Amino acid sequence: MKPAPFAFLRPSTLEEALAALAGEQGAKVLAGGQSLVPLLSMRLAAPSMLVDINAVPDLGHIDIDEAGVRIGALARHAEVLASAEAAETQPLLAMALSHVAHPTIRNRGTTVGSLVHADAAAEMPMVLRLLEGSVDVASVRGRRTIPAAELFAGPLESTLAHDEIAVEAFFPALAAGAGVAFEEIARRHGDYALVGVAALVQLDGDEITGARLGFVSVSDIPTVVDVTEAVNDRADPAAAALAELEPADDIHASAEYRAHLVKVLTTRVLAAAIDHARSRARKVTT
Amino acid sequence: MTTKLFGTKVARVEDQRFLRGQGRYVDDLLHDDPRLLHSAVLRSPHAHARITDIDVSDVLDLDGVLAVWTYDDLTGPMAEPLPLLIPHPTLTHGRTQYALAKDEVNYVGEAIAFVVAVDRYVAEDAVSRIRVDYDYLEPVVGIDAARAAQRLVHDDVPGNVGARMEQENGDARAAIADAPHTLTLDLDIERSACTPMEGRGTVARWDPDTSRLTVWSSTQTSTGVRGCVAAKLGLDLARVDVITPDVGGGFGVKINHPWPEELLVPLAAMTLGRPVKFTEDRREHFISSAHERAQQHHVEVGFDDDGRLLGLNVEFWHDHGAYTPYGLIVPIITSTQLLGPYKPLNYRVVFESLYTNTVMVTPYRGAGRPQGCFVMERTMDAIAAYLGKDRTEVRSTNFIQPDEFPYEHGLVFQDGRELTYDSGDYPASLAKLKELVGWDEFEQFRAEMAAQGRRVGIGLACYVEGTGVGPYEGAHVHIETSGKVKVATGLTTQGQGHQTAFAQIVADTLGVRFEDVEITTGDTRKMPYAVGTFASRAAVMSGSAIHLASLRAKEKALRIAAEALEADESDLEIVDGVVSVRGTDASPGTRIDLGTVAVLSNPLRYAFDEASKAATQFSVGDPGRPPVAEDDEPGLEGKDFYSPQRSTFANGMHAVIVETDPDTAEITILKYAVVHDCGHLINPMIVEGQIHGGVAQGVGGALYERMVYDESGQLLNASFMDFLMPYVTEVPTTIDIDHLETPSPLNPLGIKGAGEAGVIPSAAVFAAAIEDAEGFPITAMPISPSELYALRLAHADDPAEAAEAATTTAG
């Protein structure tokens, strides 16, 4: 379990890092390394060069304003999770992050890294999609913003070009009248979820004007389903969602069981998100 | 009087070192030696294939590579198959692998080539450059395929059957035919593995100046490794030292030996004239060490209205993987130990041990007992359900009673000796367990939980464990002139707290301070005669040997002290390392410390310090007699061996209360209770630690862990990401433990083994509790929420059909 040989570069500026990436087709970016390093060790990945961005300044920020939470490429999961302000602005961040692996992994792993790793079994890519956030990427060619809906190309595949570095993620603030909830079932605490479901609901008084669900581990790419209609028609939101999901068998659970958990968790998180929205509304009024 | 340490919760002295990261494991050794070389192994990617060509020509060009071995490079005994360690008359078709594969491979992970390089990175680079051509053969994966025998693992083993063994006491089939009630059950257990935190590892150094080979190995038997290395490399035993440093867990897998690398590393060290290291990585551990547990069982049982076992007929099929280096120990243990604390009037057991193209099977903590316990306890529960009786009542009816010991089962145990239980009090144990878990109050609790929409169940399981198997262990006790006591025993330590427990025995027996006792284990230079640490035997075997050797040292100390003090030996006592005349005050001339006794024990010509002056020729001795008497020897030492006639049988009973989520089918442990009887306890804290660890490992085996092979023989979950060893979040936060102490009459300390106890009843007790919560039979373990959900669907779709399909059928 030792990586194949690779060149290692630890640039001290973003420009240097971008130039290195542009100049080396087989280069990979190393931030927290929680997914990349095991892949290297098992020789499942053999990049010609690692561009370690940990010495690049000004990438570790967690900036919060009314619009939402901006998370730099070097901000660790643990730091985001520890930010009371971030949790206040967008409660779903902390709800989901507490399910991301274990403290030791969260201490090193980065939220932005998790997003561009694009694992449909991971919590944060789903959260970004559900909240309709975005990722800012940079390259020698300039900077661009990729909306969450356009970030995920396929299993473990983002739409970043080879020479691009994701420098910041943006998670919109939770709107007034909105509520969120997240729940997942994993075999062991901190494992990848067998199924995870997050809900984002928007209330206008007692009326549900929006209800969207984000799913973990039941599709190839992070998937969000709008169930507003099903909720308001007193139809089955889980059935609506399952029409767009592809729960599959693996060594830990059958497709049938996963579909069942989608139903159980959908019911739970929708109720919890509505409660959350109402309790926020009460706080505002009192 | 010195405070008695035996039986007290002395804190483990080794923990400071381990918890501070100061342990020294094989991979830590020679770390700073610039001459140290590292190795890597090319392993078969196929479960079953013939090797048509191996091309290593690209390897030696690589910078930093020193050598590569394939089978063709091996000569003499190294070119022969690895030893079949435990032959048995019924193992008619035993097979073992070669150190490096010869002509064919029989499991994914089998060693094919061995590369030595300046570091492990380069060694792995080199491995990836070796090209092997294979003729792919269809593999045999799983017990069903092995039994069907449409394909063979080894061409010369018909039916894939390595062994068929049958034992019978009475006439079980006739008794079942005549019984008022009968049931049949089919019960399955899947594969798991020991997965110690530290994998295998070996370092070897050849010293050309002294022509001596030193091997450090992470093993459960240093003497076993020594014997194999010497034999395979053609060295005199006296030229080979094997040392076992700190070992990060064994749980059975490290009792198998020699592993290919345990021979290849010393071979490379001798060939290259430089020290060589092999450290197994985690993936290698999953695919090239050993697994256990997979068995299918078919049970026929006949019983009367009280649930008394009139006849029990068990057939089972044991998956031993591709090779049989450890013989039939696991299935033999299942076949004998499934009887537990019960006495069926007639018992027949027959098993077949089958080849599959998977990692070989050697004992894993419990070693066949978890399967046996599962079979017997599931049978007990089925009888209780059939008769509508309380599950504890049926068990009580079948218990061997306290006045029936020694109890002879009329079978032969794994050590070739009669299966005879030495002591126990099963009714008392059961009474304690019921109290501890709240058995009689459970229905009320169930009703309370049901009122909240929650579903709970309770289960219990009983087991008897043969511990302390022979043939022997020894100990050497040496009291230095400083008064410090150095003790060597040959078996190894892999985290059991031997330094603490053995020092307690020495301190008590000899009358010295606990702090003055230092224990060395697993070092063939200090104690070349030993067997190993497995089968819950260390405390019984080495503990007893250490006690006996301490008595010898004490006897000699008292004899010399009596002479020096001009007192009668019988008037002397040793307290805190000082020999004194019993009942006297501390006046000079009535006491002498053991260090001085040690000085006097060794007549000297030369003084090397103040203390030794007292032992020189003009200071001591009767000029009319030889300085060392004819039947005596110099030095204050004691050496002895303990070799019992047969095993001693510990026992225990576990109960668990689980909650099963009606929606998600998740299984949560609400309460876990253990009553344990290992005779006299040397250190209750260590015993409880063993139980805690065993229960945690058992939770893994029952609810999380399995080896998932696909049809082509690839292990799909060969990592800790997908092999679900429970985290601390998955094991009970508290385990209620009560002890019963029925001493063993077979050893001087009245002790029985405790190492495996915690894990034995797990599959049985969880199956019972889940069954109790859900109301349908649980016949296969482990069980995951996904599988529980599937069972719910099967039983909800058509309860009648499901009941028929269930493998518990009344006859």
What gap in Å lies between CA B309 and CA B299, rounded to an integer? Answer: 12
Structure tokens at B570: 């019988």
DSSP output for B673-721: EEEEE-BS-S-HHHHHHHHHHHHHHHHIIIII----B-TTS-BTT-STT
Q: Does A78 touch chain B (CB under 8 A)?
A: no
Residues of A within 8 A of B786 (CB-CB) are 194, 252-254, 257
Which pLDDT band holds residue B799 (cuts at 50, 70, 90)? low
Looking at chain B, the number of H-run helices and the number of E-run strands are: 21, 30
Q: Which of A3, A189, A257 sits opposite B729 (nearest CB)?
A: A189
The CATH number that applies at residue A156 is 3.30.465.10
Q: Look at residue B807 in the predicted model and tell me its pLDDT.
A: 47
The candidate with the shortest Cα–Cα distance to B90, out of B341, B406, B412, is B412
Q: State whether A141 and A193 are in the same domain.
A: no
B638 three-class SS: strand
Q: Look at residue A234 in the predicted model and tell me its pLDDT.
A: 87
Q: Does B720 touch chain A (CB under 8 A)?
A: no
What gap in Å lies between CA B259 and CA B325, rounded to an integer? Answer: 10
Q: Contact B128/A4, CB-based, under 8 Å?
A: yes
Q: Look at residue B573 in the predicted model and tell me its pLDDT.
A: 95
Neighbour-count burial of B40, counting CB atoms closer than 10 A to its CB (0-12 exposed, 13-18 middle, 19+ buried): buried
Q: What is the pLDDT of residues B415-456, one digit of tens each?
A: 888 899 999 999 999 999 999 999 999 999 999 999 999 999
Residues of A within 8 A of B718 (CB-CB) are none
Residues of B within 8 A of A185 (CB-CB) are 664, 666, 785
Q: Look at residue B641 in the predicted model and tell me its pLDDT.
A: 97
**Stretch B186-208: mean pLDDT:** 97
Residue B454 CA, distance from chain mean position: 39
* Residue B388: other Cβ atoms inside 10 A: 6
- Tell me: pLDDT of B388 over 80: yes
* Residue B624: other Cβ atoms inside 10 A: 5
Q: How far is B184 from chain A (nearest CA, A)?
A: 29
- A15 domain residue, yes or no: yes
Q: State whether A166 and A216 are in the same domain.
A: no
Q: Contact A254/B281, CB-based, under 8 Å?
A: no
| Residue A275: domain span | 178-285
Question: How much of chain B is helix, strand and coil, in % rounded to 5?
Answer: 30, 25, 45
Which pLDDT band holds residue B587 (cuts at 50, 70, 90)? confident
Q: Look at residue B623 in the predicted model and tell me its pLDDT.
A: 81
Residues of B within 8 A of A253 (CB-CB) are 784-786
Mutate to test the interface with A, among B708, B786, B797 (most CBs of A within 10 A): B786
Q: State whether A148 and A182 are in the same domain.
A: no
Residues of A within 8 A of B717 (CB-CB) are 251
Q: Contact B121/A254, CB-based, under 8 Å?
A: no
Residues 746-805 of B with CB under 8 A from A: 784-786, 789-790, 793
Q: Contact B784/A251, CB-based, under 8 Å?
A: no
Q: Contact B786/A251, CB-based, under 8 Å?
A: no
Domain final residue pick, A172, A207, A242:
A172
What gap in Å lies between CA B78 and CA B216, rounded to an integer? Answer: 19
Q: What is the pLDDT of residues B741-765, one digit of tens each?
A: 999 999 999 999 999 999 999 999 9
The CATH number that applies at residue A37 is 3.30.43.10
What gap in Å lies between CA A102 and CA B727, rounded to an integer? Answer: 11
Q: Contact B716/A251, CB-based, under 8 Å?
A: yes
Q: Which of B283, B716, B724 sits opposite A188 (nearest CB)?
A: B724
Domain final residue pick, A152, A172, A192:
A172
Which pLDDT band holds residue B806 (cuts at 50, 70, 90)? very low
Q: Does B727 touch chain A (CB under 8 A)?
A: yes
With CA atoms as reference, the chain B residue closest to A184 would be B664
Q: Contact A253/B124, CB-based, under 8 Å?
A: no
* Eight-state DSSP code of residue A48: S
Q: Contact B786/A190, CB-based, under 8 Å?
A: no
- A254 domain residue, yes or no: yes
Domains in chain A, number:
3
Q: State whether A189 and A248 are in the same domain.
A: yes
With CA atoms as reference, the chain B residue closest to A2 would be B121
Q: State whether A47 and A100 are in the same domain.
A: no
- A1 domain residue, yes or no: no
Q: Does B710 touch chain A (CB under 8 A)?
A: no
Q: State whether A35 and A96 are in the same domain.
A: no
Q: Does B668 touch chain A (CB under 8 A)?
A: no
Write down all domains in chain B, each with its CATH number in brackets.
15-137+194-288 (3.90.1170.50), 366-469+645-810 (3.30.365.10), 473-642 (3.30.365.10)
Q: Does A37 touch chain B (CB under 8 A)?
A: no
Residues of B within 8 A of A188 (CB-CB) are 704, 724, 726-727, 729-730
Q: State whether A22 and A68 are in the same domain.
A: no
Task: Give the strand pairing for B212-217 and B201-207.
Answer: antiparallel
Biggest alpha carbon–alpha carbon distance for chain A: 62
Q: Contact A256/B664, CB-based, under 8 Å?
A: no
- A92 domain residue, yes or no: yes
Q: What is the pTM of this model?
A: 0.95
DSSP output for B149-214: TSS-SSTTSGGGEEEEEEEEES-HHHHHHH-SEEEEEEEEE--B----SS--EEEEEEETTTTEEE
Q: Which residues contact B29 (CB under 8 A, 6 or more apart)?
A: B203, B216, B245, B277
Q: Rg of chain A's alpha carbons, rounded to an integer?
A: 19
Q: How far is B529 from chain A (nearest CA, A)?
A: 37
**Stretch B287-295: mean pLDDT:** 96
Sheet holding B104-105, edge to edge: B104-105, B49-55, B131-136
Q: Contact B666/A185, CB-based, under 8 Å?
A: yes
B405 three-class SS: coil
Q: Does A151 touch chain B (CB under 8 A)?
A: no
Q: What is the pLDDT of residues B699-738, one digit of tens each?
A: 999 999 999 999 999 999 999 999 999 999 999 999 999 9
Q: Contact A256/B793, CB-based, under 8 Å?
A: yes
Q: Contact A3/B722, CB-based, under 8 Å?
A: no
Q: Contact B724/A187, CB-based, under 8 Å?
A: yes
pLDDT, averaged per 10 consecutive residues of chain A (286 residues), comes to 96 98 96 95 95 97 97 98 97 97 96 96 97 98 97 95 97 97 96 97 94 97 95 92 95 97 97 96 76
Q: Contact B664/A185, CB-based, under 8 Å?
A: yes
Q: Does B283 touch chain A (CB under 8 A)?
A: yes
Count CB pairs under 8 A between chains A and B: 64
- A274 domain residue, yes or no: yes
* Residue B486: other Cβ atoms inside 10 A: 17
The angle formed by the CA atoms of residues B494, B495 and B500, to the nearest 5 degrees, is 120
- Tell me: pLDDT of B1 over 60: no
- A236 domain residue, yes or no: yes
Q: State whether A194 and A239 are in the same domain.
A: yes
Domain final residue pick, A172, A190, A225:
A172
Q: State whether A122 and A83 are in the same domain.
A: yes
- Tell me: pLDDT of B801 over 60: no
With CA atoms as reference, the chain B residue closest to A267 would be B663
Residues of A within 8 A of B663 (CB-CB) are 264
Mutate to test the interface with B, among A37, A99, A105, A260 (most CBs of B within 10 A): A260
A93-102, B159-168, B306-315, B600-609: least confidently modelled range: B600-609
**Residue A285: what are its φ and ψ, rounded to 5°?**
-75, -30
What gap in Å lies between CA A214 and CA A182, rounded to an integer? Answer: 9
Q: Contact B124/A43, CB-based, under 8 Å?
A: yes
Structure tokens at A4: 């194949």
Q: Does B128 touch chain A (CB under 8 A)?
A: yes
Q: Which of A102, A189, A254 sits opposite B786 (nearest CB)?
A: A254
Q: Which residues contact A233 (CB under 8 A, 6 or more apart)?
A: none
Which pLDDT band holds residue B810 (cuts at 50, 70, 90)? low
- A158 domain residue, yes or no: yes
Mutate to test the interface with B, among A251, A266, A268 (most CBs of B within 10 A): A251
Q: Look at residue B805 in the predicted model and tell me its pLDDT.
A: 47
- A2 domain residue, yes or no: no
What gap in Å lies between CA B408 and CA B427, rounded to an integer? Answer: 18
Query: Under a CB-based contact definition with an 8 Å cutoff, are residues A146 and A160 in contact?
Result: yes
Looking at every residue in chain B, the average pLDDT score rounds to 95
What gap in Å lies between CA B404 and CA A88, rounded to an integer? Answer: 70
**Residue A16: what are its φ and ψ, rounded to 5°?**
-60, -40
Which pLDDT band holds residue B694 (cuts at 50, 70, 90)? very high
Q: What is the pLDDT of residues B465-517, one digit of tens each?
A: 999 998 999 999 999 999 999 999 999 999 999 999 999 999 999 999 999 99
Q: How far is A160 from chain B (nearest CA, A)?
A: 27
Residues of A within 8 A of B785 (CB-CB) are 185, 187, 253, 257
Residues of A within 8 A of B664 (CB-CB) are 185, 261, 264
* Residue B458: other Cβ atoms inside 10 A: 24
Q: Does A187 touch chain B (CB under 8 A)?
A: yes
Q: State whether A72 and A154 are in the same domain.
A: yes
Q: State whether A185 and A281 are in the same domain.
A: yes
Structure tokens at B58: 């690209």
Q: State whether A259 and A239 are in the same domain.
A: yes
